[in-house]
């Protein structure tokens, strides 16, 4: 093994030193940073996000790279905001990358973008949802994915556009309850929900924050039950989602619909812990998942095939897909800029104009002055028979939405 490695190294050196090296090498490479949490508590989904970026790079390089230049990337391990800052500094000043892609977690992205903006290096966010990332007036921060506000708006609008028609009632006649864990995440999303619900004239009868570390949610459930809430909107992490569904069953509370968002509702672990029959009918707003109509998401099936070929398993969550889609959009923009100069890249990103339904996530791409993609939309999914299937909007749906929660 060792001797093979030596031989390979020697061969590589010979090729590199040879004046007859291929044209690609002569034209050089283009260097990007890949900033994700690769270790620590966020590592699982951080790595899942990175895989999407990695597949996009491989695909692009196989097709000749950007402007004939091969893409090379340098990993930065952002375990926490401090390290995100440190790694962003290293990537921009030592490694001199032309742009950074990342980050999965919002707190990491908020910290790292401060560094890259000052250094005048473009930062392409492919997965973090916090709205302020693209609300600080930064020039070189761009984001392809939907934000927390988009999630909240989709949740509220789904009550009007999907749930009320399915129940055959007027939206204003439904009693809506908003429950959320009381950290920054829950506060932010529920805040947007309240505003949107008010705009749309929905009847919100209960707003109940609770600690995500609570070991008993029966008081919350009894409040919802006493108020006769028909539709529950929950913003939660995993543990409290599991607890809510278990205790809802224990207390015999059967609302007409329960809707959540993100990791707490989308992961298989949650469904397994709750039990497929109790999770039946739970609605979920999230990034595009894999049970989505391929007509609305061209490239999705191919992506899953490539993923399986490289990693030997099915994608573990929708994060890889969102990162893959975002990386591809930005690679095209950089190619169109014909330069890695930050201002030229910005000008090219501003010219991107992809209609909805023409990428692997089903999103379009059109960027605001702040760098936010205005055509990214989370879909509405539902747990049916232990699978998470897209049910709304209709173009992306693979199954019809059912009403009611739980089999009992």
Partner 1 sequence: MDVLIQLVLNGILLGSMYAIISVGLTLIFGIVRVVNFAHGEFLMVGMYAAYLLAAKFGLHPYASAIPVVLLLFALGALVQRFLIQPLLSADEHIQIFATVGLSTALVNLALLLFGADLYSVPPSAAQGSVQVAGFTLVKGQIVMFVCALALVAGLHLFMQSTALGRAIRATAQNRNAALLMGVKVDKIYVIAFGMGAACVGLASALVMPLYPVTPTIGTYFVLTAFVVVVLGGMRSMYGAFFGAMIIGLVDSLSGYYIAPDLKEVVYFALFLLILIFKPTGLFGLGRGTE
Q: Of 91, 129, 243, 300, which lies in the binding site for partner 1, with binding defined by CB under 8 A?
A: 243
Looking at 102-110, 196-204, 242-250, 332-340, which segment touches partner 1 (CB under 8 A)? Answer: 242-250
Q: Can residue 82 be called a binding residue for partner 1 (CB under 8 A)?
A: no
Q: Can residue 215 be called a binding residue for partner 1 (CB under 8 A)?
A: yes
Burial 360-391 (b: 16+ CB within 10 A, else e): bbbbbbbbeebbbbebbbbbbbbbbeebbbbb
Task: Give 367-372 contacts, CB < 8 A, sequence gap 24+.
Answer: 367/142, 368/134, 370/134, 370/135, 370/137, 370/138, 371/134, 371/138, 371/139, 371/140, 371/141, 371/142, 371/143, 372/134, 372/135, 372/142, 372/143, 372/147
Distances (CA, A) of 72 to 31, 117, 276, 323: 5, 22, 43, 17
393 within 8 A of 400, measured Cβ to Cβ: no
Q: Can residue 251 be called a binding residue for partner 1 (CB under 8 A)?
A: yes
Of 297, 292, 233, 298, nearest in space to 260 by CA = 233
| Residue 217: CB minimum distance to partner 1, A | 7
Of 160 and 243, the one with the shorter C-beta distance to partner 1 is 243
Q: Can residue 218 be called a binding residue for partner 1 (CB under 8 A)?
A: yes
Q: Of 11, 14, 172, 272, which lies in the binding site for partner 1, with binding defined by CB under 8 A?
A: 272
Of 250 and 341, the one with the shorter C-beta distance to partner 1 is 250
Of 40, 14, 80, 47, nearest in space to 313 by CA = 47
Q: Which of residues 303-322 bind partner 1 (CB under 8 A)?
A: none
Of 226 and 301, the one with the shorter C-beta distance to partner 1 is 226
Of 14 and 222, the one with the shorter C-beta distance to partner 1 is 222
Place of tokens 């988009």: 150
Q: Of 82, 211, 368, 374, which lies in the binding site for partner 1, with binding defined by CB under 8 A?
A: 211
Number of residues interacting with partner 1: please give it, by CB under 8 A: 32
Q: Which of residues 162-191 bind partner 1 (CB under 8 A)?
A: 182
Q: Can residue 254 be called a binding residue for partner 1 (CB under 8 A)?
A: no
What H or E segment, with its residue span, contains residue 77?
Answer: strand 70-77
Q: Can residue 242 be called a binding residue for partner 1 (CB under 8 A)?
A: yes
Q: Can residue 239 be called a binding residue for partner 1 (CB under 8 A)?
A: yes
Distance between CA 46 and CA 40 in Å, rounded?
10
| Residue 214: CB minimum distance to partner 1, A | 7
**Chain positions contacting partner 1, by CB under 8 A:** 41, 44, 182, 208-211, 213-220, 222-223, 226, 238-239, 242-243, 246, 249-252, 269-270, 272-273, 275
């Amino acid at each position: 093994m060792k001797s093979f490695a030596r031989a390979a190294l020697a061969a590589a050196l010979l090729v590199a030193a040879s004046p007859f090296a291929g044209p690609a090498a002569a034209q050089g490479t283009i260097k990007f940073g890949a900033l994700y949490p690769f270790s620590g508590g966020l590592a699982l989904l951080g790595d899942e996000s990175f895989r999407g970026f990695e597949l996009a790079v491989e695909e692009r390089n196989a097709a000749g790279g950007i402007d004939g230049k091969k893409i090379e990337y340098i990993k930065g391990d952002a375990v926490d905001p401090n390290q995100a800052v440190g790694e962003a500094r290293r990537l921009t000043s030592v490694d001199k990358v032309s742009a950074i892609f990342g980050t999965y977690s919002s707190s990491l992205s908020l910290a790292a973008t401060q560094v890259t903006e000052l250094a005048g290096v473009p930062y392409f966010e492919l997965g973090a949802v916090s709205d302020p990332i693209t609300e600080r007036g930064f020039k070189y921060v761009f984001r392809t994915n939907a934000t927390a506000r988009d999630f909240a708006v989709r949740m509220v609008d789904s009550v009007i556009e999907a749930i009320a028609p399915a129940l055959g009632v007027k939206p204003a006649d439904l009693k809506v309850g908003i429950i959320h864990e009381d950290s920054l995440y829950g506060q932010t999303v529920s805040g947007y929900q309240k505003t949107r619900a008010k705009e749309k004239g929905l009847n919100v009868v209960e707003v109940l924050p609770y600690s995500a570390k609570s070991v008993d949610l029966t008081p919350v459930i009894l409040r919802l039950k006493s108020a006769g809430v028909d539709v529950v909107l929950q913003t939660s992490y995993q543990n409290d989602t599991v607890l809510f569904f278990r205790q809802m069953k224990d207390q015999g509370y059967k609302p007409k619909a329960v809707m959540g968002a993100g990791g707490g509702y989308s992961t298989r672990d949650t469904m397994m812990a709750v039990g497929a029959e109790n999770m039946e009918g739970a609605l979920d707003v999230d990034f595009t998942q894999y049970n989505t109509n391929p007509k609305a998401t061209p490239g999705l099936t191919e992506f899953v095939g490539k993923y399986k070929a490289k990693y030997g398993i099915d994608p573990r969550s929708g994060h890889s897909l969102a990162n893959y889609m975002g990386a591809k959009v930005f690679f095209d923009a950089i190619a169109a800029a014909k330069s890695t100069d930050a201002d030229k890249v910005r000008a090219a990103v501003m010219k991107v104009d992809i209609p909805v339904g023409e990428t692997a996530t089903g999103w379009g791409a059109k960027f605001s002055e702040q760098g936010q993609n205005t055509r990214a939309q989370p879909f509405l999914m539902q747990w049916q028979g232990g699978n998470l299937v897209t049910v709304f909007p209709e173009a992306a749906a693979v199954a019809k939405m059912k009403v009611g929660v739980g089999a009992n």
